[in-house]
């Protein structure tokens, strides 16, 4: 499917693709049985990246909160040292500076990963979209072939049904003629004489009344 893959990749250019594993409609495309191993693996990897992104956002907020607390604490300690210098206050102030330095280092590492993660998520999401398009393409082709086959089957059945209906009407008309002739000779006893289960003449007459034509009541109105 090299040519098809290229076509799919070109189709993605400039398109804003939703995060597939968060898209309810995407999940509706598959049952668990229809998931390929390739799609299952990419789905897991994408969800892991999204979880990592959420965790980083929380960590980033928590680090910034701690950093602000330490900065506020330093201001308070600086006022205390100015008014009443002490080793204890200076030690606390130094500890706050150390924590702030650690916060800055963690924020830098965190923000670098936060910048990189969206790119990784987008790339993996596009790969998952390509895999999804491949599955949809195969299923569309398979379904279309089955639809064509079923349509042909229906056409053949309708043709055969029409033949059977005509054949049935011919046999009923013949029965009517035979019965009418025998009835003229033997009277109503002809039904018992020929071990007949119904009166063909009566049936034929009712069908003519129902159809209002030549007695072909069973013709499929959809056939031309």
CA distance 207 to 164: 17
Instruction: Return the structure tokens found at 205.
Output: 């007459």
How far is C-alpha 28 from the geometric centre of its chain's CA atoms?
A: 3
Q: What is the pLDDT of residues 13-24, one digit of tens each?
A: 777 889 999 999
Q: What is the pLDDT of residues 146-172, one digit of tens each?
A: 999 999 999 999 999 999 999 998 988
Model confidence band, residue 67 (pLDDT cutoffs 50, 70, 90): very high
User: Tokens 């330095």 sit at which residue?
Assistant: 101
Contacts of 94 (CB under 8 A, 6+ apart): none
Full-model pTM: 0.65
Contact 124, 45 (CB under 8 A): yes
């Amino acid at each position: 499917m090299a040519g098809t893959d290229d076509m799919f990749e070109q189709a993605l250019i400039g398109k804003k693709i939703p995060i597939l594993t968060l898209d309810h409609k995407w999940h509706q495309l598959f049952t668990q049985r229809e998931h390929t191993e390739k799609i299952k693996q990419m789905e897991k990897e994408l969800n892991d990246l999204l979880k990592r992104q959420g965790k980083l956002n929380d960590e980033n907020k928590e680090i910034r909160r701690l950093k602000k607390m330490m900065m506020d604490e330093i201001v308070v300690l600086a006022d205390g040292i100015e008014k009443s210098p002490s080793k204890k206050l200076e030690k606390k102030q130094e500890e706050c500076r150390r924590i702030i330095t650690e916060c800055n280092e963690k924020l830098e590492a965190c923000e670098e990963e936060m910048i990189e993660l969206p790119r990784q998520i987008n790339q993996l999401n596009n790969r998952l979209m390509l895999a999804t398009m491949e599955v949809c393409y195969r299923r569309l082709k398979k379904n279309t072939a089955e639809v064509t086959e079923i349509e042909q089957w229906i056409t053949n059945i309708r043709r055969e049904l029409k033949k059977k209906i005509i054949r049935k009407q011919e046999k009923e008309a013949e029965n009517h003629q035979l019965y009418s002739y025998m009835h003229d000779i033997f009277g109503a006893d002809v039904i018992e004489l020929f071990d007949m289960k119904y009166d063909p003449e009566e049936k034929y007459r009712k069908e003519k009344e129902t159809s209002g034509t030549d007695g072909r009541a069973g013709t499929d109105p959809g056939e031309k």
